[in-house]
Amino acid sequence: MTTTATPTDHPLLGKHADALAEARAALAARSYYSRYPESPSPRVYGETAAADGLVAHEAHLDGRYAALADQPTDGTWVGSEVSPYGPVLGVQYPHLDVDRSLAAARAAMPSWRDAGPQVRAAVCLEVVDAVNARAFELANAVMHTSGQPFVMAFQAGGPHAQDRAVEAIVAGLVEQERVPTSVTWEKPAKDAPIRMVKDYRIVPRGVALVVGCNTFPTWNAYPGIFASLVTGNPVVIKPHPKAVLPLAITVEVARTVLRENGFDPDLVQLAVEADGEGLAKTLAERPEIAIIDYTGGPRFGEWLEREGAARGALVFTEKAGVNTVVVDSTDNLRGALGNLAFSLALYSGQMCTTPQNVYVPEDGIDTDEGHLSFEELSDRLAAAIGKLTSDDARAVEILGATVNDQVRTNAAGVEELAQRGGGSVVLAPRSVSHPAYPEAVVRAPGLVALDASSEEVYTRECFGPVTFLIRTTSTEQSLDRFVETVREHGAMTAAVWSTSEDVLEAARDAAAEAGVSLSENLTGPVFVNQTSAFSDYHGTGANPAANSAYTDAAYVANRFRVVTSRRHI
């Protein structure tokens, strides 16, 4: 009997067996699990880690990223990153030769396929561990490409992204392990039973393309990278041209770990583009590309979905939406306002999960501080935002810097938006001076009050520090608008505040109808914009904002296929 045996002697198998078992159990339980500490404290990462990371970061600047020069390049160097905090990064990256790159990726595939799921998972985990060892270097890279404040860049760009990577690895591993390697099939028959042995072989789909985004270069790229890699597919990563460095570090680490473990480093390649080159499109149109993971604007996302389908490629997209909050009542006004204000302020509302539309009944809401009118609630929210962001030096550690001109234009346009919607500006996005980076454009959140009838304003994504307070006739109308707008325009997140169990139940039904996950009555240190790997799905795939979720079975099960060989015994 010949079966495609899983290699059992790779040294990383033993090293990571316990960690993979733990992560497997956590994924099934969907309870709390984290492999990488989220605190940038010196007690956790070491006394010199922060300083060393900064030195490592600065060593990249104004020079060539030579550690990636062994990729299949065309000999040219590209790079145009400018920190949202001001400084030009000046890093030059080798530019791939697409033909050679894809040929090299395909050539690397058979031995990676034949290594089997367990070895692949162990190697992937080794990569993520090695990425974590460069957490402070990565934090600086994420901060100076996305504009995130430092601690957020450390956490979301580092441990949280790495936890999502481990989640994807283990989800892919579990999915492959559900298919037995070999079985004996015995069908009863008149005389002797008919017996066959059947071997099931996991085969990759082909080369995977991951298209990164500017705001979360690692967090939004890791799930696709590791889901494809663990299921046997080589990965070509096309970073956003303004957010290359975090993925360059990641790819350098991955290639090193692959090489050290006897695999072809060209299983992971970084495809940096010159500004305006359109490399994502060029790659997406190549027949070798069998899987595409994309985070970014809806136009190109929808084109990718069609292009992929036309050639039988799998496409996973996260695009845009109108994240929604329904405010009905609260028994903890201070907690609710503080929580919502922080959700709006964090990274100046530049998260794909930041609330945009807040529905409030025109008659106001009941609270533990008495009944508040729509206007009073609006003012209280504005005050909570003000409290959080009034001190510039403290504010920038929450707000970060605006990432691009569109965000700045949105922030500058609140008066016009209010006029267009027949509403009013409750709070203008305040201009904040960064004490360390005077060139950074920093904006505190702004609030615009609108009537529910001003759909043309609030049903479009208005990315950045602008939130609409939408006056409805009742919570019932709030929930109706919630369902309709999310079904049509998508959402990554939704939240409700209510003291009424009936309203909460109705909100859950509305969320199920809309196809978006719901956070209820958050008043503490958990925010609607944050999801926790292994427990919270990021996105649902059930509304137009994203066609998939980090990380459910559907996100991994189709990245590999099974080929059977059967014979009598």
Which residues in 10-69 contact a second copy (CB under 8 A)? Answer: 28-32
Distance CA(235)–CA(208), nearest Å, equals: 5
Q: Pick between residue 350 and residue 551 the one whose CB is nearest to a second copy.
A: 551
Touching a second copy, residues 110-129 (CB under 8 A): 113
Count of positions on this chain that bind a second copy (CB under 8 A): 77
Q: Pick between residue 209 and residue 522 the one whose CB is nearest to a second copy.
A: 522
What track of x and - describes contact with a second copy for positions 231 through 270 (by CB under 8 A)?
----------------------------------------
Q: Pick between residue 132 and residue 547 the one whose CB is nearest to a second copy.
A: 547
∠ CA 268-270-276, rounded to 5°: 150
Segment interacting with a second copy, rule: CB under 8 A, options 54-62, 198-206, 269-277, 438-446: 198-206
- 312 by Cβ neighbours in 10 Å (0-12 / 13-18 / 19+) ranks as exposed
- 461-496 exposure pattern, b = at least 16 Cβ within 10 A, e = fewer: bbbbbbbbbbbbeebebbbbbbbebbbebbbbbbbb
Length of the chain measured in residues: 569
Distance of closest approach, residue 119 Cβ to a second copy, in angstroms = 17
Rg (CA), the chain: 25
Of 10, 16, 205, 240, the one binding a second copy by CB under 8 A: 205
Distance of closest approach, residue 566 Cβ to a second copy, in angstroms = 6
Give the sign of the dihedral formed by CA 386, CA 390, CA 392, CA 394.
negative
What track of x and - describes contact with a second copy for positions 442 through 481 (by CB under 8 A)?
----------------------------------------
- 509-523 exposure pattern, b = at least 16 Cβ within 10 A, e = fewer: ebbeebbbbbbebbb
Give Cα separations from 352 to 191, 235, 509 (angstroms). Answer: 64, 24, 23
164 part of the interface to a second copy, by CB under 8 A? no
Distance CA(385)–CA(265), nearest Å, equals: 48
Q: Pick between residue 394 and residue 561 the one whose CB is nearest to a second copy.
A: 561
Touching a second copy, residues 501-520 (CB under 8 A): 501, 504-505, 507-508, 511-512, 515-520
Q: Pick between residue 175 and residue 266 the one whose CB is nearest to a second copy.
A: 175
Touching a second copy, residues 276-315 (CB under 8 A): 302, 305-306, 308-310, 312, 315
Q: Pick between residue 371 and residue 561 the one whose CB is nearest to a second copy.
A: 561
Q: Pick between residue 185 and residue 409 the one whose CB is nearest to a second copy.
A: 185
Q: What are phi and psi of 132, to 5 degrees?
A: -60, -35
Residue 413 is given by DSSP the state T
Interhelix angle 98-132/245-260, nearest 10 degrees: 90
Q: Pick between residue 153 and residue 518 the one whose CB is nearest to a second copy.
A: 518
Distance CA(155)–CA(135), nearest Å, equals: 9
371 part of the interface to a second copy, by CB under 8 A? no
